[in-house]
Structure 1
């Protein structure tokens, strides 16, 4: 039922959100603080800074959980609706959907609007960026639909490896916004700014991966495909 899938998605989102929020608090916040101090030429401050760091850590964990719950809930609903069309079996389907979710929500939009590090200025107005972001989300979703469609079409006539290779072809379209897209940011081109960008990307990849892993495990358990200790004991006894 869709309600059960929705609940599993929320549970997966909570786990993933906790991990993601902790990652932000332990790694992301210190890097942002360093970039801000470097950009303004300020030294490290003591005293009240400790309180602000604790507050920032709590906010990061809380926002991470909320973001994880939002994505997890959407993941659960999407899995229920599209599971018959997803390639693979079992948890593989969850990972495929997670990859599509990442490309649609973050990956494709970032091709045109990369994550902005402190000290980086946006070249486009806010309303323009929102339109571009929406267009790129649709672009990413279209690539995912084309990829799955090609996989299912080719899989009927060829083996899985050939179908997977053909399904990867639509992702070449991602080069279009990279090559033809205008520059949307200025400044922040140093090594730390690049590290910040990759930190954001890897954080989102990890978030989607954990959602898929936890959801897949919960889904197997709900279907009764995950053996219990009693089942394993019975199998060992029968084998003896």
Structure 2
């Protein structure tokens, strides 16, 4: 399962630090990334990760990924075209042939950089939430994209979206965005979520008054205390 694989990557990071990790029935005690490499690299498993915390146990399985694929994602936060191919082949509602996909699930993958999506030209929905992405980039090839989920990342600037003219919804909640900008060019944008960010002043959201197609806007859990904020938008 795609979600299981993504959570596995995130869980391995945290478990490695604690020195609590199992593969199959064998416990792995690792004090460094090198130890993990020695255990996993160039092997193929049906991974079963047992995490014991607060009295419960969670298991995650994956059947088609080599350990080297996992390590690439785990260490570098980079997703290769080969990794994407295997992810799609293994996941529900996705296909090994890139252009057949209209939905791509890349959440919980430990991704730091958006890349290698050039072949997925027919995507309409892209899930990239709960990663470590710091920059919005390399999306111009997705001319048919309508739904973009980038919530729960490390993004501090809205940029590089002008090529996505069919974009209808963007979720950028739970990032570190300080200014709402570069959105008025998206003439089809109706839904925008900027909740849980770092917007503090009226000037930070003034640009939203130029987004004429917006019908749903979320700004909760920022630091916008000025009562004139509503007037600026409406």
**TM-score, normalized by length of structure 1?**
0.23
Which structure has more relative contact order (CA 8 Å, sep 6+)? It is 1
Higher CA-based Rg: 1
More helix by percentage: 1
More strand by percentage: 2
